[in-house]
């Protein structure tokens, strides 16, 4: 059995959706994600992927396979030129699936890394990004690449489609509260909703505002101004809601966090359900987690370094 490979989960602090149109996004890897081990099946058999905690069990398929994850697994193996080795990729996840926390990119990066370890090949970030990006293209359609960049690199940074991830060095670790709802959602549908709302035009003022909020929030974060970062997040949530990608539940959870003392709260990722995040003074964190719990959602705290 080979070693364990990881892909990190992520949160987008600012800039989701606008990033698809070329604007910057501020994003951070969680301290958790998806881990994967390649287990050879000596008696032969197909290339498989099993993530029991997600009830996921697929066989690597061709591009016309009915299961998108099976197609994605096949695409990764093809990108690496491995064919279909007799292996079971066995995964564990510490993040929920489909909640906007980058589970599919984390899985794709972990699968790619595990295959490279099994093939005794050196880890090349460009190769991993391309293989995992092919998987994301199948699962999500028009993806910017921000999820893959964070799943691979960890840490925090500003991502642009044209130039990739520019990592930031924080002088003080950033504490973020995260809550994943179980509202069903689909990234590709939400990206389509924004395309419909903006006619797919980069110049739409709402997309431009989301992009400039990334700049404002990043400057505030680097200057240690968490209230400024929180204000940018609150405004971004309102703009995203205006584009039609929030839900009443996400609005209620964000309001509850602000009432309980958060500097800022917003949906994170594609929206339409999924997760929210909040930045808060340390002494308000307990009240915010309690307010979410009262509303049926269990949150957690993650530290970004
Ligand atoms: O799949 P999610 O929920 O992590 O959304 C990713 C963020 C988007 O900007 C909506 C899409 C993208 O690929 O950047």
- Give the per-residue pLDDT at 133: 95
- Give the per-residue pLDDT at 141: 75
CATH number at residue 242: 3.30.70.890
Query: Do the beta carbons of residue 175 and residue 281 sit within 8 Å?
Result: no
- Residue that terminates a domain, selected from 165, 195, 212: 165
Do 54 and 142 reside in the same domain of the chain?
A: yes
What distance in angstroms lies between residue 24's CA and the mean position of ligand 1's atoms?
Answer: 13
Do 197 and 144 reside in the same domain of the chain?
A: no
Among candidates 12, 7, 305, which has minimal Cα distance to 146? Answer: 12
Task: Among 17, 100, 108, 187, name the best residue to mutate to test ligand 1's pocket (greatest count of ligand atoms within 8 A of Cβ).
Answer: 187
CATH number at residue 70: 3.30.230.10
Query: Do the beta carbons of residue 218 and residue 29 sit within 8 Å?
Result: no
- Give the per-residue pLDDT at 305: 87
Phi, psi of 51 (to 5 degrees): -125, 85
Do 209 and 143 reside in the same domain of the chain?
A: no
Name the token pair of 300: 């957690």
Q: What is the pLDDT along the chain (305 residues), one digit of tens a residue?
A: 457 999 999 999 999 999 999 999 999 999 999 999 999 998 988 999 999 999 999 999 876 677 899 999 999 999 999 999 999 999 999 999 888 899 999 999 999 999 999 999 999 999 999 999 999 999 887 778 999 999 999 999 999 999 999 999 999 999 999 999 988 888 889 999 999 999 999 999 999 999 999 999 999 999 999 999 999 999 999 999 999 999 999 999 999 999 999 999 999 999 999 999 999 999 999 999 999 999 999 999 999 98
- Give the per-residue pLDDT at 1: 46
Do 149 and 91 reside in the same domain of the chain?
A: yes
- Residue that terminates a domain, selected from 109, 141, 165: 165
- CA–CA separation, 267 and 117 (whole Å): 36
Give the count of domains, the chain. Answer: 2
Q: Which atom of ligand 1 is nearest to the CA of 185?
A: 3
Pocket of ligand 1 (CB under 6 A): 12, 16-17, 19-20, 100, 102, 143-144, 146-147, 187, 191, 269-270, 274
- Give the per-residue pLDDT at 148: 95
């Amino acid at each position: 059995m080979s070693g364990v490979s990881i892909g990190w989960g992520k949160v987008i602090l600012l800039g989701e959706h606008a990033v698809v149109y070329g604007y910057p996004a501020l994003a951070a890897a969680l301290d958790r994600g998806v881990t994967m081990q390649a287990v050879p099946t000596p008696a032969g058999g197909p290339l498989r992927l099993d993530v029991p905690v997600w009830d996921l069990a697929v066989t690597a398929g061709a591009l016309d396979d009915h299961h998108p994850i099976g197609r994605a697994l096949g695409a990764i193996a093809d990108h690496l030129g491995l064919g279909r080795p007799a292996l079971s990729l066995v995964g564990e996840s510490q993040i929920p699936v489909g909640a906007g926390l980058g589970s599919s990119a984390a899985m794709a990066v972990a699968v790619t890394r595990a295959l490279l370890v099994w093939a005794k090949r050196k880890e090349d970030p460009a190769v991993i990004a391309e293989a995992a990006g092919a998987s994301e293209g199948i699962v999500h359609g028009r993806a910017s690449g921000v999820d893959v960049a964070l799943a691979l690199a960890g840490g925090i940074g500003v991502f642009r489609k044209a130039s990739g991830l520019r990592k930031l060095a924080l002088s003080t670790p950033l504490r973020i509260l995260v809550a994943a709802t179980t509202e069903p959602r689909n990234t590709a549908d939400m990206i389509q909703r924004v395309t419909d709302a903006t006619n797919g035009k980069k110049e739409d003022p709402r997309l431009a505002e989301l992009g400039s909020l990334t700049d404002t929030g990043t400057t505030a974060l680097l200057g240690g101004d968490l209230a400024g970062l929180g204000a940018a997040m609150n405004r971004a949530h309102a703009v995203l809601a205006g584009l039609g990608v929030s839900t009443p539940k996400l609005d209620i959870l964000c309001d509850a966090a602000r009432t309980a003392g958060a500097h800022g709260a917003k949906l994170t990722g594609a929206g339409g359900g999924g997760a929210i995040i909040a930045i808060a003074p340390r002494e308000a964190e307990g009240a915010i987690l309690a307010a979410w719990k009262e509303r049926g959602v269990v949150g957690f705290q993650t530290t970004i370094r």
